[in-house]
Amino acid sequence: MKSKLLLAVALFALPMAASAADLPVKAPPIAPMPVSDWSGIYVGGEAGYGWGKQTTDYTDPGFCFEFERDGDCRTFGSGDPVFFPDASIDSIKQKGWLAGAFFGAQKQMGSWVLGIEANMDAADIKGSALTSATNTYLVPFDSGVFLLNHTLAATSTVDMLGSVRGKVGFVPAPAWMLYGTGGLAFAHVKNSATDTFSFLAPWGGTGTSGGTVSGATSLFGWVAGAGVDYKVMQNANSSWVFGVEYLHYQFNSNTFTLSDNGFNTVTFNGKQSVDTVMGRISYLFAIH
């Protein structure tokens, strides 16, 4: 009797065990992915292309013509003094490369990011301009024309750019950030000017003189622009960030001083603007 009871229990348990074996097994929970947060401090490098324009009121004055440098302006019998003309350059267009480094800090709040950034770039954004002017005088006693020519050549090079800027960003997707930026700007500019005075007399006489002045000026102004960044997370605490940024630098009401070792000094007023497009790569250390 006892053995029959055990057999019945065993037969009843077999289907239940088979049903239990067919039940789905609950998978272990998957660890959550790190949160894609743009908050942190970052440091990186950048390189790109820039173009600019320097606008000035630079006029290189002419002077009276003297055959023997005796202090008397020649008149050729007309009674009017004979002068080399003034020569002016009002603008110089510049272009070239720049490269440097930047660092900053930022904090994400919802879809918005607030930050501050500083950059410093070496540059070779340069240009030149050339102008000339001629005065003509009739020489009564020689029945010919006396020509006085003044040529002015100028160069300008932006060799350094820097800024300290605020930044406001928007995150449309975890890996992307669009931002606007603006703040204080710095530039270092080198200028030079070479003047050449020449004359041609109707009897065949010629002569040439001239010189070069140069100098460097530090400029302070403002900068504004925009950019886009793409983030590649390495882990919960760091990311590589790749970006493109456009900036407009503006420096108004500046005084430029050029000289030739202190013997001759030229001072003029001018404005400087520079636009840049930069490719950037940085490493973001997250702060959650």
Between 84 and 17, the more confident residue is 84
From residue 32, how far is each of 29, 35, 230, 236, 286 by CA, in Å?
9, 9, 22, 11, 17
Total domains, the chain:
1
Instruction: Please check whether residue 186 is in contact with residue 119, taking contact to mean a CB–CB distance below 8 angstroms.
Output: no
Q: What is the pLDDT at residue 11?
A: 40
Q: What is the pLDDT at residue 68?
A: 54
Q: What is the mean pLDDT of residues 215-235?
A: 96
Q: Give dist(CA 7, CA 272) in Å, integer.
A: 102
Q: What is the mean pLDDT of residues 135-150?
A: 82
Q: What is the mean pLDDT of residues 23-28?
A: 53
Between 82 and 100, the more confident residue is 100
C-alpha dihedral, 195 to 200 to 205 to 208, nearest 10°: 10
pLDDT band at 6 (very low <50, low <70, confident <90, very high): very low
> Does the residue 92 lie in any domain?
yes
> Does the residue 163 lie in any domain?
yes
- Residue 222: which of 165, 179, 279 has the closest Cα? 165
Structural domain span for residue 212: 47-286
Judge whether residue 13 has pLDDT over 50: no
pTM over 0.85: no
pLDDT band at 20 (very low <50, low <70, confident <90, very high): very low
Q: Give dist(CA 207, CA 111) in Å, integer.
A: 72
Kindly write down the DSSP assignment for every residue of 24-56, as one continuous string.
Answer: PPPPPPPPPPPP----EEEEEEEEEEEEEEEEE
Judge whether residue 210 has pLDDT over 70: yes
Q: What is the mean pLDDT of residues 85-107?
A: 96
> Does the residue 107 lie in any domain?
yes
Across 51-60, 112-121, 139-148, 268-277, least confident range: 139-148
> Does the residue 277 lie in any domain?
yes
Across 142-156, 185-199, 246-260, least confident range: 142-156
The two most distant CA atoms of the chain are separated, in Å, by: 158
From residue 86, how far is each of 3, 149, 155, 156, 162 by CA, in Å?
130, 9, 18, 20, 36
Question: What is the chain's mean pLDDT, rounded?
Answer: 86
> Does the residue 22 lie in any domain?
no
> Does the residue 3 lie in any domain?
no
> Does the residue 28 lie in any domain?
no
From residue 288, how far is each of 38, 206, 230 by CA, in Å?
9, 78, 19
Rounded percentage of the chain residues whose pLDDT exceeds 70: 83
Q: Give dist(CA 184, CA 161) in Å, integer.
A: 11
Q: What is the mean pLDDT of residues 25-39?
A: 61
* Residues in the chain, total: 288
pLDDT band at 17 (very low <50, low <70, confident <90, very high): very low
Q: What is the mean pLDDT of residues 153-179?
A: 97
